[in-house]
Amino acid sequence: MRAMLSEKGIAFAKELEKIAERIFSDDDVDKIARAYDMAEYAHEGYFRASGEPFIEHPKEVARILASLKVDTDSLVSALLHDTVEDSEGKVTIKDIEAVFGSEIARIVDGVTKVSKINAPVGNSKAREKLETIQKMLFAMAEDMRVIFVKLADRLHNMRTMKYLKSEEKKRYKALETLEIYAPIAHKLGIHVVQAELEDLAFKTLYPKEYYRMKELMSQKKRERAEKTEKYINMLKIALEEHGIPAMVDGRYKHYYSIWKKMKAKGKKFEEIYDLIAVRAVVRDEKTCYTSLGVVHSLWKPMPGRFKDYIAAPKSNGYRSLHTTVITQFGEPLEVQIRDERMHQEAEYGLISHWIYKENVDVTTKQKWIGMLLEWKKELSEGIMGIADVKKELVVDEVFVFTPKGEIKHLPKGSTPIDFAYSIHTEIGHHFAGAKVNGKLVPIDYELKNGDVIEIIVNRNSKGPSLDWIRYAKSPRTRAKIRKFLKEEYVVEMEEKGKETLRAISKRLGKSMDEILKTDKMKRFIDTNGLNERELLVRLGEGTISKELVLNVLVDTGTKKKGKRRKRRRLPRKPIVRIDGMEGLDVRMAKCCNPIPGDKIVAVVGKRGITIHRIGCRNIKGLPADRLFHAEWIEHIEGEFTAKIAVELENKGAIGKVMEKMEGFGVRVDKVELRDTEWGTVIFIIEMRVSGVGQMEDVMRGIKSSEKVVDVERVMG
């Protein structure tokens, strides 16, 4: 048997054995060598853009996976992953199945299908996005090792990106990596792959920022190296004194994560302190908690900065203790403590459950396969859209508990209604209230880490109402409510939408058909991935407002010359309810510009009642007797001031942004330009919107434009 295999194939199997740091059986060596020979035959005469023989690519993919210590079938699949697609019929799936069996054939077939998918990025059309992600999820759900091979394939392609001649193709691949593959690696907990994918995509998309960050990190690294070594030695000695053997090292954050944090928090590089974390790997879970006491005896802990991910793991399975302390140099330092098993899972995530061993852990596998199948089902049934899946991949989380102590992971900002739907769709549909930590809370209560939630169910309830969409923060919850409403009331919603459109047509002196056929409305429908009927349903359910449609349609240049168009100010009708009272004279705070849909609070002062957004820095520390509960009154019509900051690659992109604004019919009051230290441009836009929904529509539309780095709302 061995004689039939090439010496190169056997040598490569032995090379992978060293990388994987485990002993291969004779059968393992035979399978890998046979796969090598088949791949070499399939790719003979083919070359990569770098000039290397094509066989070097599957070899490198196999090396990457061997370093992640995956099973033999994954290594064999890595060598064969391009044979069907790139051999002009020399090798087929049937050939692979005949030689290696159905399992490896299924993995290779899955990778082939995923490789043919041009994943949706940037401003791709919504329907195309839906179809491609469905295909990707289906291939992944067949066998999770499909995505392991594909992630390694993408990692090697990103490492060799410089050989691609087409700048457009480079940008597309980098965007696809940042929007699809890196978030999937994050969701599966494969940190080592996620970090490198993000940095390589960052380098391609924003080279100036990347090299600037690299330079700053290099300077900071030299400055901190000596201190970090002291921290590591101090902790190691302190643990040894308590009889705790440990592997202690330091880990620097990768460039993209620091850059993203700077942008999110509006901080300069010098203001980012947690560039490094000191990590201690100890013998077992019990020792983790003992070691925590040692750390806190060595350095003073910072209040509120301790996180126990062992008692409450993250949704991707990550377990560790995190604490931030103040060192002898007066600076904060994050210390992570975990055992060897937790460390494996932290670095390799879901892959760690496929690591070669006798007792394979199937629980986590089943969990992720179940999640992928659920996403696929919800996409195909129209419960979720592509944007919802993308949000689920990257969203920050909050963990809460059921009364029985079961952990639930939800998007940050989630409410009791989101929790109810996470238990079961029917529980959500019959939601009647909630207790958090034993106390009744309103439907819009924002869940916090560690909350214990008990859902009150009314089995006689007819189901969710339209108002629930406003209170739901999870994309999945909103999608389920919307699906219920469409199934139960689609005809009613469509008729309501028609009534709204008739009112608009009467106001503009045009027929409904004329309105739907205008270029502006066609563009609006296409941008939002709708058809005419879906537009009417969205109008009926209120997720697209009458005001938004009017703003899209009204052309500021159609008025007669000499008559200046009046700016529509806040309506005189009541717009907020304060402690249950309506009709009070209020004004909107300019420091935070609250708009309908924001969580708000009323502040009583010398100048009367001012409405602020909850979280506004100007109301922190105010006495409780000056703050009153406030909420928006339903169905407000009017325009409110909102400000957004658009970061652009250069000033030449401003025109495209303004075109996009015009497409949404939003009135711009004021603009301002600022240069950044990264060479990008911040374009601040003050506009008039009907509420949060319209503002978010505008921000999503702008973000899909070329040359747009990021879009954020600004407080004032």
DSSP reduced 3-state for 218: helix
Selected catalytic residue, list 15, 17, 56, 85: 85
Please spell the DSSP secondary structure of 276-303, one letter per residue: EEEEEEESSHHHHHHHHHHHHHHSEEPT
Length of the chain: 716
The pLDDT score that the predictor gives to residue 383 is 52
Higher pLDDT, 246 or 222: 246
Q: What percent of the chain has pLDDT over 70?
A: 81
The one-letter code for the residue type at 430 is: H
pLDDT number for residue 707 = 80
Q: Is 270 a residue whose pLDDT tops 70?
A: no
Q: What CATH number does the domain containing 162 carry?
A: 1.10.3210.10
Burial (CB < 10 A; 0-12, 13-18, 19+), residue 42, is buried
- In sequence order, the 6+-apart residues with CB closer than 8 A to the CB of 448 are 398, 400
CB atoms within 10 A of CB 653: 20
Average pLDDT over residues 410-434: 89
Q: Give yes or no for a contact between 316 and 187, defined as CB atoms under 8 angstroms apart.
A: yes
The answer to whether position 323 is within a domain reads yes
pLDDT class of 2 with cuts at 50, 70, 90:
very low
- Name the domain count of the chain: 5
Residue 376's pLDDT is 57
| Residue 222 phi, psi (nearest 5) | -65, -40
Q: Please check the confidence at residue 19 and state whether its pLDDT lies above 70.
A: yes
Give residue 132's pLDDT band: very low, low, confident or very high (50, 70, 90): low
361 in a structural domain: no
Q: How confident is the model over 22-44, as a mean pLDDT?
A: 92
Highest mean pLDDT out of 61-65, 338-342, 557-561, 577-581: 61-65
320 pLDDT band, cuts 50/70/90, is very high
Same domain, 598 and 696: no
Confidence (pLDDT) at 158:
95
φ, ψ of residue 688 in degrees (nearest 5): -110, 125
236 and 178 share one domain = no
Catalytic residue at 85? yes
**Mind giving me the DSSP string for 406-475?**
-EEEEETT--HHHHHHHH-HHHHHTEEEEEETTEEE-TTPPP-TT-BEEEEE-TT-----TTHHHH--SH
In a domain, 486, yes or no: yes
Q: Per the residue annotation, which of 15, 17, 56, 86 is the catalytic one?
A: 86
609 & 644 share domain: no
Q: Which helix (H) or strand (E) holds 529?
A: none
Q: What are 310's two structure tokens?
A: 């062992």
Q: Contact 96/104 with Cβ under 8 angstroms?
A: yes
**In terms of pLDDT, which residue wins out, 478 or 151?**
151
Asked if residue 654 and residue 628 are part of one domain, the reply reads no
Residue 259: which residues within 8 A CB-CB, separation 6 or more?
A: 202, 206, 209, 213
- Digit-coded pLDDT (tens) for 69-109: 888 999 999 999 999 887 777 899 999 999 999 989 989 98
Cα–Cα distance between 589 and 285 in angstroms, integer? 50
From CA 280, how far away is CA 589, in angstroms rounded?
48
Q: What is the pLDDT of residue 124?
A: 46
Does residue 445 lie in a domain region? no
pLDDT score at 373? 58
Do 166 and 276 belong together in one domain?
no
Of residues 122 and 439, more confidence is placed in: 439
pTM of the model: 0.56
Q: Are residues 669 and 529 in the same domain?
A: no
**Residue linked to tokens 């593959």:** 181
Residue 704 has a CB neighbour count (10 Å cut-off) of 15
Last residue of a domain, one of 321, 353, 385: 353
Residue that is last in its domain, among 632, 648, 680: 632
pLDDT digits (tens, 9 = 90+) for 326-372: 888 888 888 999 998 888 887 776 666 555 443 444 455 555 555 65
Q: Are residues 535 and 581 in the same domain?
A: no
Domain containing 661 equals 640-714
Residue 401 included in any domain: no
Query: What is the rounded CA–CA span in Å between residue 326 and residue 405?
Result: 33
Same domain, yes or no: 175 and 296 = no
Q: Which residues of 544-569 are buried (b: 16+ CB within 10 A; e: fewer)?
A: bbbbbbbbbbbeeeeeeeeeeeeeee
Q: Does residue 507 sit within a domain?
A: yes
Q: What is the pLDDT of residues 273-312, one digit of tens each?
A: 667 789 999 999 999 999 999 999 999 888 778 888 888 8
The answer to whether residue 86 is catalytic is: yes
The pLDDT of residue 22: 87
Q: Say yes or no to pLDDT of 223 above 80.
A: no
Residue from 212, 250, 244 nearest 231 by CA: 250
Identify the CATH number of the domain in which residue 312 sits: 3.30.460.10
pLDDT for res 568: 39
- What's the confidence (pLDDT) of residue 378? 59
Domain presence at residue 436: no
Cα–Cα dist 18/12, whole Å: 10
pLDDT computed for residue 671 by the predictor: 78
Tell which wins on pLDDT, 439 or 490: 439
Q: What is the CATH number of the domain that holds 703?
A: 3.30.70.260
* CA dist., res. 107 & res. 124, Å (int): 28
Burial class (CB in 10 A: 0-12, 13-18, 19+), 587: exposed
Residue 106 has a CB neighbour count (10 Å cut-off) of: 20
623-665 residue pLDDT tens: 877 788 888 887 777 788 899 988 888 777 777 787 777 777 7
Q: Kindly list the strands in the beta sheet with 608-613, ordered across the sheet, starting from the edge strand earlier in the chain.
A: 576-578, 627-632, 600-605, 608-613, 586-588
Same domain, 491 and 524: yes
Residue 452 domain flag = no
pLDDT in tens, 520-543: 888 778 766 678 888 887 787 666
DSSP state of 270: G
Lookup: tokens for 271: 């203001």
Given a cut of 50, whether residue 432 has pLDDT beyond it is yes
| pLDDT at res. 66 | 92
Q: Which of 329, 353, 377 is the C-terminal boundary of a domain? A: 353
pLDDT at 463: 84
Q: What is the pLDDT of residue 451?
A: 87
42 vs 144, residue with greater confidence: 42
DSSP assignment of 144-203, as one string? THHHHHHHHHHHHHHHTGGG---HHHHHHHHHHIIIIIHHHHHHTT-HHHHHHHHHHHHH
Tell me, rounded to whole angstroms, the distance of Cα 135 from its chain centroid: 20
Both 86 and 113 in one domain: the answer is: yes
- Averaged pLDDT, 147-159: 92
Could you report the per-residue pLDDT of 584-612, keeping only the tens digit for each?
Answer: 778 888 889 999 988 899 887 766 788 99
Task: Among 11-20, 151-160, 455-464, name the one with the lowest average pLDDT.
Answer: 455-464
* Of 644, 651, 662, nearest in space to 703 by CA: 644
Are residue 194 and residue 305 in the same domain, yes or no? no
CA distances to 174, 330, 620 from 237, rounded to whole Å, are 44, 21, 43
Q: What value does the mean pLDDT take over residues 507-530?
A: 80
pLDDT of residue 56: 94
- Is the same domain home to 197 and 211? no
